[in-house]
Structure 1
Amino acid sequence: MSESSNTPPLSLSPGQWSFTRWNTIGQLEALEVHHPLFEATVFLQGAHLTRFIPENEPDWLWLSPDARFEPGRAIRGGIPVCWPWFGDPERNAPEVRKRIKTPNPHGFARTSLWKLEDVRETAHEVEISLSLNANDDFADLWTGHALALLTYNFSVRGCQLALTTTNLSDGPLALSQALHTYLPTTDITRSRVLGLGYSHYIDTLKNWEYCTQDGPVYFEGETDRIYESGEPLTVVTPGASRKLNAVGSDSTVVWNPGPDKAKTLSDFSNDAWQTMLCVETANAASDYRVLNEGQNHTLGLLIRRG
C-alpha cells in the first residue's frame, strides 16, 4: 500500500533517523516526524496518531485543545485505535461480547503502551510500525491472545494506516474494531460525507433502528450511525475535501456529539462539536470478524486530498 519509490526504505535505529525524533508530550512518549514534506506525531500509548500536517497545509486531523496526555487516559482526537472491541460491549455480537470482562467501551488498545517495531525513512515517506501483544497481561479485561501490528505510512500524497490482527489463540477469535478518525471543520453545519447514499445504517440514537441513507450525510445535531458500507468516501468541509479509502472494512461509523452530548464528554469543550466530525473505518455491528487460529486480518485506511 506504500507509495512506490526508486529509493529503498531504510530501517534505522534511534539516533540514525533523519526525520523522526523522540519527544515527551505531557506524561507520554511520542515519535515526532519532521520531514521536509510533512509532519506527524505518533504516541506509543495507543499507537495514537494525533497530527498529520503536509507542507504548507493545516492539520488534516482534529485534536481537542483540552486533550490530556496521561498514562491510562485516552487522547481526545487524532485517530484512536478501538480494539479488540468497538463501542459498548453489550452492543457487540455474542461471539465478541463473551470475551469481554469489562463494561468499558472501545477496548484497551487505545490506553495500552505499544512497542515500537520499526521506523523506515526515505526522501519521500516515513513508515512507523508499532505492536501490541494482547496476552495474559490483559486477562482481567478480555479472554484471548492476539497480536496487533499498526503501520503508519506518511507521504506527500497522504496518510495511510494498516492495522493487522493475528490470532494467537488456540481456537477461533471474534473481534470488532475501528480506526476512530477525527477530522476538522470550520463549520459542522456546512460539512457533509459523500459516498454513503442508499446505504443501510443503524441509528444508535433511535433505539438502534435500521434506516437507509438518502444522499449525503449532513450534521443536524447529535449523529451516531453505523453504516453497512466500506465504500470510498469524501468528506467535504468549508475550504477542504478529504478522500477516505478503506481496506478490510464493510462498516463505517459517522459521529458528532452535538451540543448536549458535548457537555458530558471528557477533554472536550462545550462548543468543540462545531469544529469536528468522526468518520470511522470499522469492523462493527454485524461486520465483526472471526479469525481462526493463526489467521490474520488487516483493517486499513488511506486519507488523501479530495
Structure 2
Amino acid sequence: MSIAKSIEVSESSGITFLDIDNSLATARISLFGGHILSFIPKSDNKERLWLSPHAVLNGDKPIRGGIPVCWPWFSDDHGREKGALPSHGFLRSQVWQLKASEDNAAGTTIYLAPSFTRADGFEYDCQVTLKVTVGQSLQVELITQNTGLVAFSFNTALHTYFQVDDINHVELTGISGDYKDKTDNWAVKQTPAHYTVTGETDRIHMTAAAQVAINERSVAVTRVDSQGHDSLVVWNPWQGAASIADMDAFGYKHMLCVETACTGDIQVAPGGQHILTQTVVPL
C-alpha cells in the first residue's frame, strides 16, 4: 500500500502516528484509538483541538483530548452495571490500521479501520471505517456497515475536545430545544438563549443541531457541522478536572467538548450502514 506524500509516519512509546502536512492544514492522528489529536488550518494557524498535557500516549489507556471515537455505546449505555464494560466502548483503546490514503483537491483523505469490531457487549458482524479528510476543514466520518445476517443496534459519538483560549469568553450558538442535564439527575431543561459555560456542564441536547458555532471573544470562530446524529453533547468538567488523573486542574479553562452523537439506539439492517459525520469548519 502506498501512503500519500503529505503523510509522515512515526512511532513513539509504542504508538504509531500519522502527521499530515498539506497546503491547507496540518493534523496528527494516533493509530492507537484511531484518534485525531490535532488540526491546524493554515488559513489562521490556530489549533482547533485540545489535547491534555497529561494525556497518556503509550497505549495504556484512552487518550484524553482530540477526537475519541465512542462505539458501540456512549458512556456506560451498554445494558450492564457501570464499570462492567469499558466506558464509551472498545474502539478507542485498540490499534487501528491505515487502509488507504490519498492527496486530492480537498486535501488529504485517510481511511482507518479498527483491529476488531466484535467483543464482549457487542457480538455482531460489522465493519467500521473512519474516513478523515484534512483540508480547509476537518471532516470525520464514522461508517458502520452491517455485514451479518441479523439487524443490530448501537450508539456512538465523536467526542471532540475543542481548544478555546478562555472558557469564560465562549458562547455557543445554533443549539435549541431541550437537553438532559447529567449534573442534575438527568432533569430535562430548556437550552439557554445565551449559551455560555459557567460551571460543570454535562448535557445531552436532544435536538440534532446541524450547525453549531463556538464563538470566542476577539478570537477565531469554529463551526461544528453534524450529520447522521440524533443529539449533541456539551461537556466541561469545570473544577472537577482536578479529580481526572490525565487532566490538568485548570485544563477546563481551555477546552470544551461539543460532541456529534447518537445517544439513542441506531438500527442497522443486514447490508445497511450508518454514517456519523462531524466537520470542523474554521471561520
- TM normalised by structure 1 equals 0.86
State the partner residue of 2:11.
24
In the alignment, structure 1 residue 288 sits paired with structure 2 residue 277: no
**1:230, 1:245 → 2: CA distance?**
11
- Is the CA contact 1:205–1:224 (under 8 Å) kept in the aligned structure 2? yes
Q: Percent identity?
A: 29
- State the distance in 1 between where 2:84 and 2:270 align: 24
Q: Give 1:72 deviation, angstroms.
A: 4.1
**Runs of 5+ unmatched residues, structure 1:** 1-11, 90-95
**CA-atom RMSD, angstroms?**
2.0
Q: Is the counterpart of residue 165 in structure 1 residue 154 in structure 2?
A: no
Q: Does 1:226 align with 2:215?
A: no
Question: 1:13: which partner in 2?
Answer: 2
- Spell out, residue by residue over 1:184-236, the C-alpha distance to the aligned partner (whole angstroms, 9 max, x if none): 11111111211113x11100111111111121321111000000122211111
Aligned residue number for residue 159 of structure 2: 180
2:110 corresponds, among 120, 124, 128, to 128
C-alpha deviation, 1:37, in angstroms:
2.4
Q: 1:172 to 1:124 in 2, by over 3 A?
A: closer
What is the distance in 2 between the residues matched to 1:264 and 1:60? 25
Q: Which residue does the alignment assign to 1:277?
A: 256
Matches within 5 A, 1:15-94: 17-55=4-42, 56-89=44-77
Where does structure 2 lack aligned partners over 5 or more consecutive residues? none
Partner SS for 1:85: coil
How far did residue 113 of structure 1 move? 1.2
Residue type of the alignment partner of 1:163: L
Structure 2 partner of 1:154? 134
Residue 91 (structure 2) aligned to one of 94, 106, 109? 109
Query: Where does structure 1 differ by over 6 angstroms across 4 or more consecutive aligned residues?
Result: none
Query: How many Å separate the matches in 2 of 1:109 and 1:216?
Result: 36
Alpha-carbon contact 2:38-2:66 (below 8 Å) kept: yes
Give the deviation of 1:104 after TM superposition. Answer: 2.4
Pairs aligned (count)? 280
Equivalent residue letter for 2:245: S
Shift of 1:124: 4.8
- Note if contact 2:95-2:115 (Cα within 8 Å) is conserved in structure 1: no
Amino acid at match of 1:147: Q
Asked whether the equivalents of residues 192 and 216 of structure 1 are also in contact (C-alpha less than 8 Å), the reply is yes
